[in-house]
Amino acid sequence: MVTLILVFFILLFSMSQIDVQKFKSAVESIQKEGSGIQPDNTSINTSDAAQKKQDNRQDELLQKVNTYIQKHNLSAKMTAKRDERGVILVLQEAVLFDTGEAAVLKDAETLLHQIAVLLQTMPNEIQVEGHTDSRNISTYRYPSNWELSAARASGVIQYFTSKENLPSKRFIAVGYADTMPVKDNKTADHMKENRRVEIVIKKSKTTSS
């Protein structure tokens, strides 16, 4: 059968002008089919397995964090969720800062200490993100919400590294100002939810085995 098909292609080639490269590709494809060669799906299967393993790790980490929150009665002060970045601790502004300020409140140190204890049990990189509502701020110290949100993220990291001795190389500070709201800023309650700090426990880097 393969021989007959090859003869057919040769006849076509002799009767018309076709692209030589395309002809060679067609012949090679037929030869592979005739020899029983199958597409290599190894890399695809490996990728799917790695993704599934990563998802399972994230589910386990989220469960660990939620268990910790419940055990230490912290649900009124923070919540946990996960997305493509990793597992995220969400803390509202009022828990950590005075309005328009970035200095961590003394009363917030107990909460941050409990979070530090949790972070010490895992090797993941940590990204601390500051978020504001849509109201503009313009002070000598914070000319805009960009400076305020970045300073708040940095303030939380400063506590972790200076008072809890967590390695500074684990942390990244990011200020998003009002560019990533969780609500529409149309009510006071919505703006309150947008003023927050998110502590992202980033996904572990996958390694091939």
CB 104 within 8 Å of CB 161: no
Q: Which of 19-23, 55-59, 115-119, 179-183 has the lowest mean pLDDT?
A: 19-23
CB atoms within 10 A of CB 13: 14
Backbone angles phi, psi at 113, to 5 degrees: -65, -45
Alpha-carbon gap, residue 134 to 178, rounded angstroms? 5
For 103-140, the pLDDT digits (tens) are 999 999 999 999 999 999 999 999 999 999 999 999 99
pTM: 0.74
For 152-162, the pLDDT digits (tens) are 999 999 999 99
- At residue 180, the 3 state secondary structure works out as coil
Region 16-28: what's the mean pLDDT? 62
Alpha-carbon gap, residue 95 to 68, rounded angstroms? 18
